[in-house]
Amino acid sequence: MRDIFHIYGTDGFEMTQSLLTAIEPEKLIPSQSSKIALKPNLVVAAKPDGGATTHPEIVIAIIEYLKVRGFHNISIVESAWVGDSTKRAFEVNGYYTIGKTYDVRLVDVKDDAYVAKTVHGVPFEISKTIMETDFLISLPVLKGHCQTSMTCALKNMKGCVSDRSKRHSHSIGLHKPIAALNALRCADLVIVDSLNGDLDFEEGGNPVQTDRIFACRDSVLCDTYGASLMGFEVEDIDYILLAERFGVGTTNLDFANIIFLNEPSEIAPLPLPTGKAIYLNQYIDSRSACSACHGTLLHALKRLDEVNQLGSRFDRKICVGQEFKTVQDPSRAGVGTCTGGLGKSVPGCPPTALAMLEFLKSL
Ligand code: SF4
């Protein structure tokens, strides 16, 4: 339960297959006839390049991996947020073709039967399909959220309840309902799409390329790790702490065994920043940077901006990228092992946003 498998790259299908080979979920699933549910994040009917929704190639990689090993009772279960259509989200992301090609059932939770349960004082109408699932694989996108700061494994479960339950959760503040829902049913395995999650909003619009996928069996540990990658202390996110208190998992990252399957050595061309990222990018001197390093720096700068500590803090831009490997300049500061020759630098390949944040605060 304490393993976190982490991989860098740009090919979601290959990365997911490599993760699954390392995790060996076939040893975790009770039997070949077990009911398996895949729960992507299709909060809105939008393609994943906007930073809101799960890349479908991750879903396809899991289905192919499981089918080859004799697991055929697979469903894809999701509901878009209140006001959008899950079916449109399925359509836009090619899920009807996936369903047909692989003989996988699509379940729109908005049409599903519900089981009524009250947990820690919070009433839910939860999908019957989810409650009858033997092995639940959650596929959240690590991204920002306007009310809860971030969203990952724990909040992804909100797509498993009725729209009425979603509205009620918002009316009483999201944190307790998210934690309570996971005490009722949490994922058995989480595979996090952190290829280009949004900086700010769960509905996307400010995607930040970070080119990574990570996986964990403990949803609380998974979100604690995800928070660190976005520059948050776990104390910043109430629902993660509450979920730990409700017995869903642990926030103790020291207890985690983080297994990197590769390094982010490949330099993918960075996409042009959009939205808020354009503003943050003016503080970065990026030269042949891996997207994992550059994207993580954007998240760290965002955290500083939220507490009004960005402004005129830096005389010069923060350096990032492999071209700095040969630069010796005592007057500059940079992030990542490649900038070790500069006057000030935070090590790591790449460092987490939390480590970058501490470093930036110290400048
Ligand atoms: S430290 Fe260098 S090699 Fe490592 S992620 Fe950053 S830019 Fe890439």
Residue 265 Cβ contacting ligand 1 at under 6 Å: yes
* Per-residue confidence band for 53, with pLDDT thresholds at 50, 70 and 90: very high
Average pLDDT, the chain: 93
**Within a domain: 307:** yes
Give the atom of ligand 1 at the shortest distance from the alpha carbon of 349: 4
Give the atom of ligand 1 at the shortest distance from the alpha carbon of 289: 7
Q: Judge if 304 and 166 occupy the same domain.
A: no
Q: Judge if 51 and 132 occupy the same domain.
A: yes
Q: Judge if 236 and 141 occupy the same domain.
A: yes
Alpha-carbon span 263 to 336, nearest angstrom: 13
What average pLDDT does range 11-16 have in this prediction? Answer: 97
Q: Read off the CATH number of the domain in which 119 is found.
A: 3.40.50.11440
Which of 260, 291, 312 corresponds to the end of one domain?
260
Q: What's the gap in Å between 119 CA and the centre of ligand 1?
A: 44
Which of 201, 235, 260 corresponds to the end of one domain?
260
Q: Judge if 83 and 150 occupy the same domain.
A: yes
Q: Are 40 and 78 in contact, with CB atoms under 8 Å apart?
A: yes
Q: Judge if 288 and 221 occupy the same domain.
A: no
Q: Judge if 256 and 282 occupy the same domain.
A: no
The number of distinct structural domains making up the chain is 2
Q: Outline where DSSP puts E strands in the chain.
A: 3-8, 36-40, 74-78, 105-108, 114-119, 122-127, 135-139, 143-145, 149-151, 189-194, 212-216, 257-260, 284-286, 318-320, 329-335, 342-346
Residue 147 Cβ contacting ligand 1 at under 6 Å: no
**pLDDT tens, residue by residue, 269-295:** 566 666 777 888 889 999 888 888 888
Q: What is the pLDDT of residue 205?
A: 79
Q: Judge if 187 and 54 occupy the same domain.
A: yes
Q: Judge if 188 and 313 occupy the same domain.
A: no
Residue 149 Cβ contacting ligand 1 at under 6 Å: no
Query: 3-class DSSP state for residue 269?
Result: coil
Alpha-carbon span 209 to 199, nearest angstrom: 10
Q: Which two tokens stand for residue 8?
A: 């860098």
Residue 150 Cβ contacting ligand 1 at under 6 Å: no
Domain span holding position 53 = 3-260
Q: What is the pLDDT of residue 314?
A: 78
Q: Judge if 231 and 336 occupy the same domain.
A: no
**Range 281-288, long-range pairs (CB < 8 A, 24+ positions):** 282/317, 283/310, 283/314, 283/317, 283/318, 284/317, 284/318, 284/320, 285/316, 285/317, 285/318, 285/319, 285/320, 286/320, 286/321, 287/319, 287/320, 287/321, 287/322, 287/323, 287/324, 288/321, 288/322, 288/323
Alpha-carbon span 86 to 142, nearest angstrom: 20
DSSP 8-state assignment for residue 80: P
Q: What is the pLDDT of residue 136?
A: 98
> Which residue of 285, 323, 349 sits with most ligand 1 atoms within 8 Å of its CB, as the best mutation to test the pocket?
349
Residue 338 Cβ contacting ligand 1 at under 6 Å: yes
Using CB atoms within 10 Å of the CB of residue 195, give its burial: 0 to 12 exposed, 13 to 18 middle, 19+ buried.
buried
Give the atom of ligand 1 at the shortest distance from the alpha carbon of 350: 5
Q: What's the gap in Å between 127 CA and the centre of ligand 1?
A: 43
pTM of the full predicted structure?
0.91
Residue 350 Cβ contacting ligand 1 at under 6 Å: yes
Residue 349 Cβ contacting ligand 1 at under 6 Å: yes
Residue 206 pLDDT exceeds 90: no
